[in-house]
Homo-oligomer: A and B are copies of this chain.
């Protein structure tokens, strides 16, 4: 008897890949469950047969979408007052804008940030939330650790999370312009192993002595700073190659990644980048904003321009990670860049997936060197200041992106068409003049034709210019939009910790914690604050560098553009008779 299955998520088949498009809620018949590589063969009600991602269907059960429901309840019983209230509030506030939580409840309960997440998870399905797009909230989009031990051979394909990207509806000229890099850091409840133990209290009241190397924070000119090592790590992402598997049924793109430390290239598919992203998010996400990877995309995955754009964005993402002193020196990042062979990679992967210093525990490895403990008020003020700044900058960046998008459309759409029509009108008039039969107007008609052609050339220049300047301005701002989208999560962790420390007196009074534990909590929230300040200073320094560079590049190209137009017109002008 054939096995029936419920489709959990929309899946759009890629043409020519033996895949079958299915819709959420549809019932399909599994015709071959042993295809392997994360795929099953199924038949829909219209009798069409094709491959469907295994994770997209549930055999014999109705679909369950309440993502929050699968999350183990948090044991916050001894923090009853704030937790319950703000959790409720968070869930009823606008889940599409994580800032809204801070806006409407500035004194922030510690669970606000977390509370906003499950809702984000639910609404993420719509795919249009700039803060949570890109596979956000798809329980199976990013397989958890341990689930793909055989991942190197097994093909869980990046295509599986299809239907989320905005790319398919993006307007001509720009691939994914609006959506890419736009997603926030994905600290979702089910991302952290053992979530119930991952609240800030885990670190604040931790009795574990932290193991391994320390992440030092020093007092720099601008305030607390991370330890920067020289030379700065960098890498080149290049040479995308198409590979195939499952006897040619499925294909993929492999990129070459070469770090400046070894100059030895390693190969990685998008899914490996995604694995790295998941590890970095797990390990550093509470302290460091880890921006999402460029959006996934199913259709046209092998289209040349898309591959080029994805590579460019993977390059930007890797460069940003390389520039981060903590991220770039981490074992998992080094593994990604310098693994020797498949065995090395597999061992490293397993080790990384077993790393227990993740979530808030990252703060246990941070050591402010020779910096005095901060009082809670200062910690809170800094946190509020960063929250305000990142919110404002997020607004500013989004504003620029909106304007830039419109300008892009105009420059690649109506404007060049108009210059072309002006050019055609001049040339047309020139033809008419030529037909006059009047002697001696060749100079005029030649000049008029040349002027017409010049405007056609200008039309083409105008249409191509955005790729030469606006593109980089947009990419940089998209990157920043992505980065800034991570701050609500990161800052949320800090706000939650602050709230807990505020309750310390009450907890001592009710003998929930000892006086010594209260002191420890104060010290630890101070460490967290130094980490946040070091991170903000890192952010600011990069921001200044990035915006200086991108504005220079933009303006330089703009100058060239206008100069070239002027030069072309000057030439066109010179062809008319001086009278």
Contacts and interface: CB of A to CB of B under 8 A. Distances in A.
Interface stretch (A56-64, A260-268, A317-325, A432-440): A432-440
Contacts of A431: 396
Interface string A419-456: 00110011011011101111111001001100100000
A438 B439 CA distance: 72
Contacts of A570: 555, 559
Q: Which of A392, A439, A547, A578 has the most CB of B within 10 A?
A: A547
A393 B393 CA distance: 56
Contact of A569 (B389, B404, B432, B555): B555
A418 B414 contact: no
Interface string A519-557: 000000000000000001100110111011101100110
In this complex, the interface size class of chain A, counting residues with CB under 8 Å from chain B, is: 35 or more
Contacts of A399: 425, 428-429
- From DSSP, what is the main secondary structure of chain A's interface residues? helix
Count the copies. Answer: 2
A437 B385 contact: yes
Contact of A397 (B388, B406, B429): B429
A444 B547 contact: yes
A299 B153 CA distance: 81
A429 B221 contact: no
A435 B551 contact: no
A232 to B, nearest CB: 14
B547 A448 contact: yes
A87 interface: no
A229 to B, nearest CB: 21
A415 interface: yes
Given A389-B436, A403-B421, A573 B559 contact: yes
A437 B547 CA distance: 17
A242 interface: no
A478 to B, nearest CB: 14
Interface string A380-398: 0000010011001101110
Interface stretch (A164-172, A192-200, A494-502, A560-568): A560-568
B579 A556 contact: no
Given A429-B397, A540-B436, A547-B444, A576 B562 contact: no
Contacts of A577: 548
Nearest to A414: B410
Nearest to A437: B385
Contact of A548 (B425, B438, B444, B556): B444
A400 interface: yes
Given A221-B439, A438-B541, 7 more contacts: A396-B429, A403-B421, A403-B425, A447-B548, A551-B576, A552-B578, A563-B566
